[in-house]
Amino acid sequence: MIRNQWYVVLESNEVGSAPIGVTRMGEKMVFWRDQTGKVNAAADRCPHRGSALSIGKVQDGHLKCPFHGFEFDASGKCTLIPANGRNGVITGAMRLNSYPTYEAHELIWLWWGTPASQELHAPEFFDNLDESFHYGSAHDPWEAHYSRVIENQLDVVHLPFIHRKTIGRGNRTLVDGPVVEWKGDKMLYTYVFNRLDDGTPPRRSRDLSAKDATSVHLEFIFPNLWQNYISPDVRIVAAFVPVDEALTLLYLRFYQKFMRTPILGKLIAQLAMPSNIHIAHEDRRVVITQQPKVSGLKTGEILIQGDLPIIEYRKKRASLQSLGQQS
């Protein structure tokens, strides 16, 4: 995983009035909401005797340990040790490792890395996806490293093979380009030019332009958020949530605004999810077999011209790992 990044880790509706325990980035974490509704996160381990705080409760916005009643605030500071009395002295070592969080678009981000010495900038989202859209959602576990799951969604070569009976129909096996563009430091755009093989060689990326592409394109925001821009009214968004080195949760959403009535719009979007999960499973069957399990610049794979988005992803990932210190 890449340290010192904002990761999408949950959907907003997963964190309610009671604490919830999950594993993210290989670490057991507890999430809860305080009195203001703000999402907080910390290590799911009481520093006193090591019990899971996620089976405790929230009281007056504080996380309360189920074992001995210790209470912790959003910063991780211990505010009460019942056995020592309400005015008892609490050592500074009695605290949780807490994580900054950010909530927007009904998603929850977590800052995973060194504690910030100054206020963190808000994580990026897709500025072309606004409140006029309604979405349906589903979660899907993949027994694969999150980097492999991401690369699958940047792979423009596989469509007519893995998805030959669904979204890859048409036998457009030849890949012109593709064209990749960086917008800012962490957003990668991929423009797709797949066509029937008529015997002519594929065109080089340098001979193409994003202006030549259809409206369909891919957008990826480091470290784990992706959008398939299908049309102005239809999008698919995925967050590739690292549980640990061997398991990824795919948080998948189908957005639409061709039906703008809220109730019907939400229903139509949710009804689209089974087919989207079916398509994802076509990918999953193959991705979980890839070796080595973790992507990188030195995997021994022999990449081709059509793999340019994956090459760009690997270069940026390696650069961010060197800056944030890979874990």
Which CATH number does the domain housing residue 21 bear?
Answer: 2.102.10.10
145 and 22 assigned to the same domain: no
241 and 150 assigned to the same domain: yes
Cβ–Cβ < 8 Å for 245, 235: no
103 and 209 assigned to the same domain: no
pTM of structure: 0.94
Amino acid in position 96: L
Picking from 82, 112, 142, the residue at the C-terminal end of a domain is: 112
How many domains does one find in the chain?
A: 2
Cα distance between residue 196 and residue 223, in whole Å: 33
189 and 303 assigned to the same domain: yes
Nearest-CA neighbor of 152 among 270, 278, 250?
Answer: 250
- What are residue 204's DSSP bridge partners? none
Where is 89: in which H helix or E strand? none
Per-residue pLDDT of the chain (327 residues; tens, 9 = 90+): 899 999 999 999 999 989 999 999 999 999 999 999 999 999 999 999 999 999 999 999 999 999 999 999 999 999 999 999 999 999 999 999 999 999 999 999 999 998 766 788 999 999 999 999 999 999 999 999 999 999 999 999 999 999 999 999 889 999 999 999 999 999 999 999 999 999 999 999 999 988 888 778 999 999 999 999 999 999 999 999 999 999 999 999 999 999 989 999 999 999 999 999 999 999 999 999 999 999 999 999 999 999 999 999 999 999 998 886 554
- Is residue 124 included in any domain, yes or no? no
- pLDDT at position 214: 78
Give pLDDT tens digits for 54-92: 999 999 999 999 999 999 999 999 999 999 999 999 999
Beta strands 247-256 and 134-142: pairing type? antiparallel
CA 223 to chain centre: 7
3-class secondary structure, 211: helix
- pLDDT at position 327: 42
- Is residue 73 included in any domain, yes or no? yes
Picking from 112, 147, 167, the residue at the C-terminal end of a domain is: 112
The vertex-173 CA angle with 220 and 298, nearest 5°, equals: 50
93 and 139 assigned to the same domain: no
Give pLDDT tens digits for 124-136: 999 999 999 999 9
Domain that holds residue 244: 134-324
- Is residue 128 included in any domain, yes or no? no
- pLDDT at position 105: 97
Tokens of 265: 């719009």
242 and 286 assigned to the same domain: yes
59 and 167 assigned to the same domain: no
- Is residue 39 included in any domain, yes or no? yes
